[in-house]
Amino acid sequence: MSAFSKLWHCPAARCRTLVSSAGSVGKTRSPMPLTSHTPELCEDPRLTLAAQMLNSHGVVRLELRGTSMLPSLWPGDLLTIQRVAHDEVVAGDIVLVMRDNRFFVHRLIEKRQVGGCCSWITRGDAMPQNDPPAAASELLGRVTLIRRGMRSFVPTRHVSLFNLALSGALSRWDHFRSFALRMHATRMKACATHP
C-alpha cells in the first residue's frame, strides 16, 4: 500500500482521509481553482494534501469521524467527495467546507448573494443552528457517494420528517446519542464479520 492510499488520522478535521491514485479517479466537468487553500495558509499538511488532491484530481474520499450529521451520516462512513462548480451546488446537498483549517461535512441550507459575493450557509443535520457563512472559496466539493459497511448509496437532498425528529433527539440527549452510536458500531462489526 502506498503512502497516498494509506488511511491516516486527522484529529483537527475529525476525519480520516483516503486519497485515491490519479489513475483511478475520473475527470470532472468543471474545475474549480483552490485559491485560498494553499499549503502556506493551511497549518495541517494532511488537510492541504486532501484539498489539493480534490482540486487536481476532482475526487477525494474521507472517512467521517464526527456526529454532527447524524442520522444521515455516521462515524466510519466513507464519503466520496467530488469537486463541483458553485452553480452546480443546490440547497440540500451535503458539502465539504474548509474553515479555520478544519474540514466540515454539512448540509447546504442556502446560497446568499450579497453585492456580487457568494456565501454559503451550512448546518449539520444534528446541530441546532446554522454554521457561520462560508466564503465561496471555502466550499471544496459535494458528497456524491456514501459507503456504510458493505453498502453504497447516493445521499439525498431531502431530509425525511423521521430523520429530522431523530436528529433532534440525537443532538439533545447525550445518552440516546451514545446508545445509538454503540448500536451502530456493533452493527458495523457484525456486517464486517458476516459479509
Q: Would residue 161 count as lying in a domain?
A: yes
Characterize 106-141 residue by residue with b for buried, 16 or more Cβ atoms within 10 angstroms of its Cβ, and e for exposed: bbbeebeeeeeebbbbbbbbbbeeebebbeeebbbb
20: how many CB neighbours lie within 10 A of its CB?
A: 15
Q: Would residue 3 count as lying in a domain?
A: no
C-alpha cell at 23: 489513475
pLDDT at 58 over 90: yes
Q: Would residue 2 count as lying in a domain?
A: no
4: how many CB neighbours lie within 10 A of its CB?
A: 13
Give me the pLDDT at residue 60, please. Answer: 95
Give me the pLDDT at residue 87, please. Answer: 87
Q: Would residue 55 count as lying in a domain?
A: yes
CA atoms 145, 37, 112, 103: torsion sign: positive
CATH number of residue 60's parent domain: 2.10.109.10
Q: Would residue 42 count as lying in a domain?
A: yes
pLDDT at 11 over 60: no
pLDDT digits (tens, 9 = 90+) for 78-116: 999 999 998 899 999 999 999 888 999 999 999 988 788
Distance, in Å, from the CA atom of 121 to the CA atom of 124, rounded to the nearest integer, reads 11
How many domains is the chain partitioned into structurally? 1
Q: Would residue 166 count as lying in a domain?
A: yes
Give me the pLDDT at residue 195, please. Answer: 63
pLDDT digits (tens, 9 = 90+) for 33-56: 333 433 344 577 888 888 899 989
pLDDT at 130 over 60: yes
Helix (H) or strand (E) holding 128: none
Give me the pLDDT at residue 27, please. Answer: 32
Distance, in Å, from the CA atom of 135 to the CA atom of 157, rounded to the nearest integer, reads 21
Query: pLDDT-derived band of residue 156, with 50, 70 and 90 as boundaries?
Result: very high
Preceding amide of 71 cis, omega within 30? yes
Concatenated DSSP letters of 68-117: TTTTTS-TTPEEEEE---GGG--TT-EEEEEETTEEEEEEEEEEEEETTE
C-alpha cell at 147: 459507503
Residues of the domain holding 135: 8-193
Q: Would residue 17 count as lying in a domain?
A: yes
Query: pLDDT-derived band of residue 9, with 50, 70 and 90 as boundaries?
Result: very low
